[in-house]
Amino acid sequence: MNYDVAIIGGGIVGCAILNKLTRKNLKVVLIEKGNDVAVGASKANSSIIHAGFDCKPNTLKAKFNVRGNELTFKLAKELSVPIKQCGALVVGNDLNMVNELFNRGKANGVKGLHILNREQLLTKVPKLNENITCGLFAETSGITSAYLLTIALAEEAVINGAEVKFNTKIKKCVKNDFGYNLIADNLNINAKYVINSAGASYNEVAKILGTEQHEIEFRRGEYFLLDSNIEPLTNLTIFPLPSKFSKGVLITPTVHGQTIVGPTSYESDNTTITTVDGLNEIKEKAVNIIKDIPFNKNIRNFSGVRTICGDDFIVEKSTKKQNIINLAGICSPGLTAAPAIAEYVAENLLGFNNADKKMKKRVPYTCLHDLNEAERNKLIKRNPDYGKIICKCECVSLGEIKEALNSPLKPNSVDAIKRRVRAGMGRCQGGFCLTKVIKTISENLNISEDEVVKENKGSNFYVSNINPKK
């Protein structure tokens, strides 16, 4: 099979590029070693749409952040992905540093920046710690769902002719007359252009492609996810003044009504563990922003790993191999920057400057939780499966899970369903609905429950044919 472009890596950046190149009417394939898109850093971050005031001027981060902010709000609305322009505060007691961030934001072209004193800050966040004296308010910052946006970008692309290959790990790349022959255990294709958007696996893929290796630093960030039944701590995102390595431990609402507190920033070996020391650090730092945070209402701890290459993103044509694009070190604000990176790759690096074609729209997932009683009754009358509640915490029905299983990317894992319709995302974290979700996947995909996985290959819940000790 021949393609115009092959993209390796199904995170937010890879899927944004897949979507953009599909809009350019190209034949595109995305190759992902995992069982779904958004299984790496794109599923485990703060989901913040950054304004762009903290990026150093004249960097790719600054350029793509500010442009990406504009594009992300537009794309999310087109794709029916939840997004909210709630604004963000950076707070502390160093007015000189606040002024520096303000001036940096202005240099980057960020609109809607305001320096606030304590009295002005308290009108926005009454529970601020008494040590906070000043801050910067950014109107254009917002929140979304990083994994839903990634999924939606890929789904729309597939609906419009793109292809996605899961559980596929490239093992060989050979130059040929067409372009490049990419070979995996379950794949043998040709592509004129290849894009390495493999994130944490960038160097592994670069070695196979024969392109530039880059020194990558992994930094792990741990989080608390607080229950939706608490009184909201804040209606906007609150950062401390940033450090060299991190934007700091932040407090932000989610688009689903919960609260995230974190992250840490530790050198890592690309493992997503959570630690007692890390979680205690979050508690100690977060109360310097807002006192009396109800950490006893925590329903989940998780972590994500950022890949860092020096002080900036790497978005470049390979000088070693013609028609290969290298993308590395896409850490924060990578989520916000993704649509702008996709635009730049398509139009500047690959030279596809033709107008975008009109796309067939993806249908958003039904959300029973958001419907009123009349709407629910009408839906249930049409399909009784929507009246059978599987996940009580998030009010997710059998109909919604079946709908997700038959969506464009054909998900087949428990976590893939969780990301799409929130079964298992609530207070009990799947404690009551997990076995029902496994059963539903098994029945609808006509596989045994032993074959159902949590996420990727090998993460089965049940193991059959175990020989007991004699």
Angle between helices 146-159 and 12-23 (to 10 degrees): 30
Q: For residue 185, what are its two tokens?
A: 């255990």
Q: Are 137 and 88 in contact (CB under 8 A)?
A: yes
Cβ neighbours of residue 441 closer than 8 Å, sequence gap 6 or more = 401, 405, 412, 413, 414, 417, 447, 452
Q: Which amino acid is at 9?
A: G
Spell out where 263-379 has E strands: 266-267, 298-308, 314-317, 324-328
Phi-psi region of 257 (alpha: psi -120 to 50; beta: other; left: phi over 0): left
Half-sphere exposure at residue 378, Cβ-oriented, CA atoms within 13 angstroms? 6
Report the C-alpha gap between 238 and 248 in whole angstroms: 10
H/E segment holding residue 217? strand 217-226
Q: Quote the strand ranges of 38-186, DSSP E.
A: 48-49, 83-84, 88-92, 113-117, 134-138, 142-144, 163-165, 172-175, 180-184
Residue 347, token pair as written in the block: 């139009």
Q: What are 132's two structure tokens?
A: 């906070």
Query: Coil, strand, or helix at residue 8?
Result: strand
| Nearest alpha-carbon partner for 129 in 115, 113, 118, 142 | 118
**Do 34 and 13 form a contact (C-beta atoms < 8 A)?**
no
The torsion angles phi and psi of 15, rounded to 5 degrees, stand at -75, -30
Pull the structure tokens for residue 429: 């974290």
Query: Which residues are CB-contacts of 249 (< 8 A; sequence separation ≥ 6)?
Result: 240, 261, 262, 263, 264, 281, 282, 285, 286, 289
Beta bridge partners of 190: 2, 181
367 beta partners:
none
**CA atoms in the 13 A half-sphere facing the CB of 200:** 18
Helices (H) and strands (E) in the chain, counts: 12, 22
Annotated catalytic residues are 50
